[in-house]
Amino acid sequence: MSEIGGAGNLFQGVARASLVPGVTPLERGPVLDSGAQLWVKRDDLTGLGVGGNKVRKLEFLCGAARAESALSLVTVGAGQSNHCRMTAAAGALLGLDVHLVLSGERPERLEGNQLLDALFGAQLHFTGEPDHHWGALELVRESVTDALAADGMRPYSIPIGGSTAVGAIGYIAGYLELSQQLLAEGVDVSAVVHTSSSGGTHAGLVAGQAVCRAIGMPAPSVIAVGVAKGVVIGSPDVTTLANEALSLLPNCPPGSVVEETDVVVDGDWLGDDYAVPTRAADDAIRWAARRGGWVLDRVYSGKGLSGVLGRDAAGEWAAGDNVVFIHTGGIPSVFVAGGVPEL
190 plus 137 within the same structural domain: no
Position 154: which residue type? R
Instruction: Kindly tell me if the per-residue pLDDT of 308 is higher than 60.
Output: yes
Helix segments in 95-164, DSSP class H: 112-119, 134-150
pLDDT, one tens digit per residue, over 288-307 is: 999 999 999 999 999 999 99
User: How do beta strands 37-42 and 26-31 pair?
Assistant: antiparallel
Mean pLDDT, to the nearest integer, of 32-59? 98
> Do 76 and 194 have their domain in common?
no
pLDDT band of 236, cuts 50, 70, 90: confident
Question: Over 50: is that where the pLDDT of 2 sits?
Answer: no
Asked whether 292 and 325 are in contact (CB, 8 A), the reply is no
Q: Are residues 138 and 250 in the same domain?
A: no
Instruction: State the Cα–Cα distance between residues 203 and 77, nearest whole angstrom.
Output: 19
Summarize pLDDT for 165-216 with one digit per residue, the tens: 999 999 999 999 999 999 999 999 999 999 999 999 999 999 999 999 999 9
Residue 102's domain comprises 54-162
97 shares a domain with 188: no
Q: Is 292 in the same domain as 322?
A: yes
CA distances from 263 to 39, 52, 76, 231 (A): 21, 23, 26, 11
What does DSSP assign to residue 109?
S
69: exposed, middle or buried (C-beta count within 10 Å: 0-12, 13-18, 19+)? exposed
Q: Is the pLDDT of residue 317 over 50?
A: yes
Residue 283 and residue 294 in one domain: yes
Task: List, for residues 270-287, the tens digit of each pLDDT value.
Answer: 999 999 999 999 999 999
pLDDT band for position 4 (cuts 50, 70, 90): low
Percent of the chain surpassing pLDDT 70: 98
Q: How does DSSP classify residue 337?
A: T
Q: For residues 14 and 63, what is the distance between their CA atoms, to the nearest angstrom?
A: 8
Listed range (7-11, 83-87, 186-190) with the worst mean pLDDT: 7-11
Whole-number Å distance between alpha carbons of 133 and 72? 25
pLDDT at 6: 59
Exposed e or buried b per residue across 40-50, where buried means at least 16 C-beta atoms within 10 angstroms of its C-beta = bbbbbbbebbb
Residue 42 has pLDDT above 90, yes or no: yes
Residues 105 and 133 in one domain: yes
Q: Kindly state whether residues 176 and 320 are assigned to the same domain.
A: yes
pLDDT digits (tens, 9 = 90+) for 98-117: 999 999 999 999 999 999 99
User: What mean pLDDT is reported for the chain?
Assistant: 96
Distance CA 160, CA 316 (A): 32
What pLDDT is attached to residue 1?
A: 40
The conformational region for residue 128 under phi > 0 = left, psi -120 to 50 = alpha, else beta, is: left
Domain count, the chain: 2
In order, the DSSP letters of 222-285 are EEEEE-SHHHHTT-S-HHHHHHHHHHT-TTPPTT----GGG-EEE-TT-TTSTT---HHHHHHH
Cβ atoms of 75 and 88 closer than 8 Å: no
What is the pLDDT averaged over residues 243-248? 98
What is the distance between the alpha carbons of residues 310 and 245, in angstroms, rounded to a whole number? 31
Range 317-331 average pLDDT:
98
pLDDT at 343: 86
Nearest to 125 by CA among 102, 98, 142, 147: 102
pLDDT tier for residue 52 given thresholds of 50, 70 and 90 = very high
Same domain, 319 and 197: yes
